[in-house]
Amino acid sequence: MRRLWLIFCQAVTVSLAVLFVVSTLKPDWFGSRSSPLATLVPILEAPAPHPDASGVAAGSYAAGAQKALPAVVHVYTSKEVRQRNLFADDPVFRHFFGDRPDNGSQRRTSGLGSGVIVSGNGFILTNNHVVEQADDIEVLLHDNRKLPARVVGRDPESDLAVLRIEADGLPAITFGAPETLQVGDVVLAIGNPFGVGQTVTMGIVSALGRSHLGINTFENFIQTDAAINPGNSGGALVDTQGNLVGINSAIYSRTGGSQGIGFAIPISIARSVMEQIIQTGTVTRGWIGVEVREVTAEQARALGLPPMDGTLITGVVNGGPADKAGVQPGDLLTAIDGKPVRDAQAMLEAIAAHQPGQQTELSLQRGKQALGRMVMVGRRPPPEQASQEP
């Protein structure tokens, strides 16, 4: 009896094992019943994105990229540089070969960057540092046409330049509304990084109004974590609809590559500079002829000034607008036309916004005495001739 019981138990065990194996490997043998693994498939497989009426998948930025891409170009530059003869000043060389003129040698260097077509008749906006000192500039369009370009004008203090190519009917970018841009908005950076070809990267607006970076004289950058690399300079920063919101200009990097901190010039500044360059070939800014710097609490006490916001005037150009109005070194500038001045950068931007010949009121603190001075704003000299304003 014991032997029959053992045979029965073994038969049941083997039958259950066979049933489990067959139900797992051949579930269709059991009609509509499904295997345990089959129930995992809907959980593991993500549903395919559904395209909208335009054929673009939901959550995609393809529509914005496709709108902006044709207006972004590659900018190729070259210039001739002279190399000195390394042995010209070597006394041994001069002993054997005598004094010879250092004629040096000539060679050409090349550079690359990006640009944005801003009008259908050939105007292109880019960075000044992309085309600075270049004696030959070529632009590669989205349709692979390569055309020579000339510089219409440059503004080193904002790092912007305008080029022009002889072509009509070009795909111009659409300008965005700068006042609507907010921290956290998704943006796309388009350019030619490392010369690999047109590339789109995506990120968000990390911050607005970045200044005091020491990159340009006039700074009000959009900070973004969209990957920007060498070659992206002068390219487009666009919103998700493909509208231009900035010109990619610089990166913060210890290695030369993107580390998630890129800076773009806001389109509000870029457009103002561009329009002045197209109309006159240059940019006109106000100037009063002073040197300024931040004032610390210790300096304020030493000068007998009360603790307050403002910027310290450390020098006045002889015969300049401020000098004629009676402004003196050591004065603390606290407001311009009644608007408080926080620091030297704010002062520079406020004066630069005035047109030459316009009068402006400076609120000063000289020791314990509050003063007001009316100054006739002059025209800011070119960077190489300007005084040491910040």
| DSSP code at position 57 | B
Q: Kindly report the CA angle at 74 between 73 and 76, in degrees rounded to 5?
A: 140
pLDDT at 93: 53
Burial (CB < 10 A; 0-12, 13-18, 19+), residue 390, is: middle
Same domain for 272 and 195? yes
C-alpha 385/C-alpha 372 separation (Å) is 28
CATH number of 272's domain:
2.40.10.10
Say if residue 42's pLDDT is above 50. Answer: no
Q: Which strand (E) or helix (H) includes residue 318?
A: none
Same domain for 291 and 258? no
pLDDT at 49: 52
CATH number of 336's domain:
2.30.42.10
Indicate the average pLDDT of the chain.
81
pLDDT at 79: 82
Same domain for 315 and 351? yes
Say if residue 132's pLDDT is above 80. Answer: yes
pLDDT at 91: 64
Residue 246 included in any domain: yes
pLDDT at 56: 56
Select the more confidently predicted residue: 190 or 28: 190
Residue 222 included in any domain: yes
Select the more confidently predicted residue: 318 or 217: 318
Select the more confidently predicted residue: 320 or 6: 320
Same domain for 301 and 354? yes
Same domain for 275 and 306? no
- If phi > 0 it is left, if psi is from -120 to 50 it is alpha, else beta; for residue 387 that is beta
Query: Where among 219, 250, 280 does a domain terminate?
Result: 280
Residue 121 included in any domain: no
Burial (CB < 10 A; 0-12, 13-18, 19+), residue 306, is: exposed
Same domain for 373 and 337? yes
Residue 199 included in any domain: yes
From 374, 365, 369, select the one nearest 308 (Cα to Cα).
Answer: 365
Q: Using only the alpha carbons of the chain, give its radius of gyration.
A: 33
**Residue range of the domain that includes 220:** 175-280
C-alpha 298/C-alpha 296 separation (Å) is 5
Residue 132 included in any domain: no
Residue 161 included in any domain: no
pLDDT at 278: 94
Same domain for 181 and 276? yes
Query: Where among 264, 280, 296 does a domain terminate?
Result: 280
Same domain for 270 and 349? no
Burial (CB < 10 A; 0-12, 13-18, 19+), residue 293, is: middle
C-alpha 207/C-alpha 226 separation (Å) is 12
Among 91-100, 212-221, 256-265, the range scoring the smallest mean pLDDT is: 91-100
| DSSP code at position 4 | H
Same domain for 186 and 222? yes
Which two three-digit tokens encode residue 352? 């630069």
pLDDT at 44: 44
Same domain for 274 and 292? no
Same domain for 332 and 294? yes
Token pair 């009068």: residue: 359
Select the more confidently predicted residue: 256 or 122: 122
C-alpha 203/C-alpha 225 separation (Å) is 5
Residue 56 included in any domain: no
- 124 in Cβ contact with 163 (< 8 Å): yes
- 126 in Cβ contact with 115 (< 8 Å): yes
C-alpha 288/C-alpha 341 separation (Å) is 15
pLDDT band with cut points at 50, 70 and 90 for residue 43: very low
Q: Which residues are catalytic?
A: 129, 159, 233
Q: Which of 45-54, 173-182, 247-256 has the highest mean pLDDT?
A: 173-182
Amino acid at 92: V
pLDDT band with cut points at 50, 70 and 90 for residue 203: very high
Same domain for 327 and 247? no
C-alpha 181/C-alpha 222 separation (Å) is 10
Select the more confidently predicted residue: 179 or 114: 114
Structural domain count, the chain: 2
Q: Which strand (E) or helix (H) includes residue 125?
A: strand 123-126
Residue 107 included in any domain: no
C-alpha 290/C-alpha 71 separation (Å) is 42
Which two three-digit tokens encode residue 100? 């010879």
Average pLDDT over residues 324-339: 90
Total residues belonging to the chain: 390
Average pLDDT over residues 42-65: 62
Query: Where among 230, 263, 280 does a domain terminate?
Result: 280
**How much of the chain, in percent, has pLDDT values that exceed 90?**
44
Average pLDDT over residues 337-366: 88
pLDDT tens track for 266-315: 999 999 999 999 999 999 999 999 998 877 777 667 766 666 678 889 89
